[in-house]
Amino acid sequence: MRSASAAAALFFFVFAHSGFVRVHGGEVTAELLYTNVTVKWHADYELQMVEFSIWYGEKTPDLLFVGFSDFGDLNSTDGLMISQREIKDVHTTREYRIRPDLQQDFQQVRKRKDHIVVSRKLITCDSRDYAFQAGTTQFHIAASWGYSTLTNIMDKRWIKDKKFGKVLEGPTDYPSIEDEPASLEKDVKIVVVNSNSPDPIPNVETTYECIIRKMPFDTVETMYHVVRMEPYITPGNEHLVHHMEVFICRDEVEEWNGNCNDPKKPAKSKSCSHVIAAWAMGEGPIIYPREAGLPFGGKGRDEYVMVEIHYNNPDLHKGVMDKSGFQFYVTGMLRKYDAGIMELGLIYSDANSIPPNQKAWAMNGYCPSQCTQHLPKEGINIFASQMHAHLTGRKLFTSQYRAGVKIGEVNRDEHYSPHWQHLQQLRPVVRVMPGDTLMTTCVYDTRRRSKVTFGGYGITDEMCVNYIYYYPASDVEVCKSAISNVTLREYFSQRHLMNGQTMAISDMYNKVKDWGNGVDEEFYNVLNVGNMNMNCLRSNGEPHKFYTSDPRQSWENMPRPRLFAGSFVKTRDRFQCPAINDMINFE
C-alpha cells in the first residue's frame, strides 16, 4: 500500500489542474491476467464529489467492472461498468446479475487511450448506489477481453481481483505531503530488526516468531528518537506476514530469535512488554509528525527491542524462507516532544462477550476522566490511530467527551475489515485534555455464530482496541474497561437463576440457552448502564492511583461515566437518503 503522503503527492501531480481544493486521494491496483488496472481517486469535501481515474494500460479490456462495497459481497453491490462505447452506473442483484441503475450518477470527465476519468457525488441517495463514507471500501475490479456483453458478475469469463482502500479518510484527515523519508533529519539511520539469516516459515497455520535485538549503536547514555517505522517484509511473503508488534524491553536481555513459545527464549524477554508499534497486513508506515519522536535509549543501560511476527499460513506452505522484520528510522537530533502509544477499548476478558445471532451488537470501552487525569496538564495530541477487532467486528470508532458532552471523534471506520487494518494518520491532530473521556465502540455481527463469542486473544474470540499514537508522552499506557464482574454475577444470578458467586463467567454466558425473547435486549441494557472495571495502567503494568474522597470507590466496579450527546447529528439518514450499504433492510 502507498502511504497517505505518497498518494497525496501522486494526486498533486496527476490532478493539479482540476481545481479541487480540500481533497483526499488514493489508489488501488488490481492484478488481472493481461494487465494491471489501477483505480485512482480524489474526493473533494466541499463539492462532495469523488473523481476516479481508471488506468488499464495498452490492452484495453472490452468490459471493465469496478464494484464498491463495505464487506466485499458481489451480490447486491454497486458498480461502474465501462465498455468501449459507454459507461454505465450499475448494481448487481442478489442473483449476481448486473443491471443498470434507473438513475445514472456517474459522469464521464474524459477518456484517453489508456485511461478514463469519471466522477460522482459521494452520496447520491439512490438505494442502488454505494454511499462513500469514512471507512474501508472494498473494490472488486473485473475485466473481460473478447466478451462485451457479460450480464452476471460470477461469469467465469470475468478476470477479477479484490482490493481495499479508503476513499474518505474521515472528517479530520488531510493529505500530508511532509515527512517523506528524504526530508527527515540528516543523521537518520535506518535500522532493520530481523533474523540474521533466512529461516523457513513453519508449515502450520499460526506461528509467532520473536526477534530480540540491541540497537547497533550506543544507546546507554544517549537518547534517540524513532521518527518512522515500517515493516520489512521478504518479497513474495506478503500474504504470510499477518501482523507484527514491536516492544521495548525493560531489562537487558540478549539477542535471540526463534519461536516465541520456545522454552529457550531468554527468560528476561518477559520484560519486553512495552508496546511501541503495532502493524498489520495492508498497512503503511508509521510516520511521526515533525515535532515528535519515539524516545529510545539514554537510560544508562543497553536497551533491546523485540519484534513479534505473526505468520498466518492457512495453506500450510512448506519451506518458504523468510527474513522479515521491522525497520526503524532513528535520529540523534531530538525533536521537541517525546511520543507515546496508548491502548484504548475493551479489556481482553471473557466478561466482554457477545451473544450469538446479533446483527449489530455494540460494546463500549471507556477511558474515563479518572484515568485521563493522569495525562500531562497541557493535554496530548493524537496523530495516528489504529483500530483492531477480530472476525465479527464491523464498525469501530472512538469519541471524545468533555464535561460529559461529545465534542468530536478520534477515528471512525464505518465498515471495518479485519483483513485490512489501517493505521490512520490524523491531521490535524486530535487534542485530548486531562479529565476528558474517550469512548471506543465496536459493533459486531454474530449472525453466523450459534454460540457466545468470548472476549479474548484467539482469532475466533473478539477484541476492541484503538492504539493511539500521541505526544507528549505520558505514563498512561492502557486505558480500557470491561463490564464489572459484580454486575455480571448479579445479572446472571437474578435473571437466569445461576449460582453467581461460584461459576466462571464464561460458564454463565454459555449456560444461557436462549438469547431471543428479549433476553438479548435486556442484557444489552445491562451492558449500557452497568458498572465497569477499569485498567488504567502505567508502562510497567501497575495501575495508576485512583483519586477519590469516597473510600468505597476504586477502579473496580466503578460507575460508568455519564455521557450526553445532541439529539440530532448531521449525518446521512438512511430513510431519507438510502444507499446500497443499507440493503440489510430487505433481508
Q: Which residues bind ligand NAG (CB under 6 A)?
A: 31, 35-36, 73, 75-76, 94, 349-351, 485, 505, 533, 556, 583
Least separation in angstroms between CB 391 and ligand NAG = 14
Least separation in angstroms between CB 523 and ligand NAG = 16
DSSP assigned state of 548: -
Q: Give me the phi and psi of 209, to 5 degrees please.
A: -105, 135
DSSP E strand stretches across 71-133: 78-83, 87-92, 98-100, 107-111, 115-121
Copy the grid coordinates of residue 111.
477518456
Q: 447: helix, coil or strand? A: coil
Kindly tell me which of 195 and 234 has the beta carbon lying closer to ligand NAG. 234
Buried/exposed code over 114-138 (b: 16+ C-beta within 10 A; e: otherwise): ebbbbbbbbbbebbbbbbbbbbbbb
CA separation for the pair 183, 71 (Å, rounded): 38
Q: Cα–Cα–Cα angle for 54, 56, 57, nearest 5°?
A: 130
Q: 146: helix, coil or strand? A: coil
Kindly tell me which of 133 and 533 has the beta carbon lying closer to ligand NAG. 533
Least separation in angstroms between CB 72 and ligand NAG = 10
CB 180 within 8 A of CB 5: yes
Q: Are strands 87-92 and 98-100 parallel, antiparallel or unpaired?
A: antiparallel
What are the catalytic residues?
A: 208, 388
Amino acid at 209: E
CA separation for the pair 93, 100 (Å, rounded): 10
Locate cell 467527551: which residue? 401
CB 185 within 8 A of CB 333: yes
Amino acid at 333: M
Least separation in angstroms between CB 533 and ligand NAG = 5
Residue 444, Cβ density class (10 Å: 0-12 exposed, 13-18 middle, ≥19 buried): buried
Kindly tell me which of 249 and 583 has the beta carbon lying closer to ligand NAG. 583
Least separation in angstroms between CB 187 and ligand NAG = 33
CA separation for the pair 80, 72 (Å, rounded): 15
Least separation in angstroms between CB 541 and ligand NAG = 14
Locate cell 505518497: which residue? 6
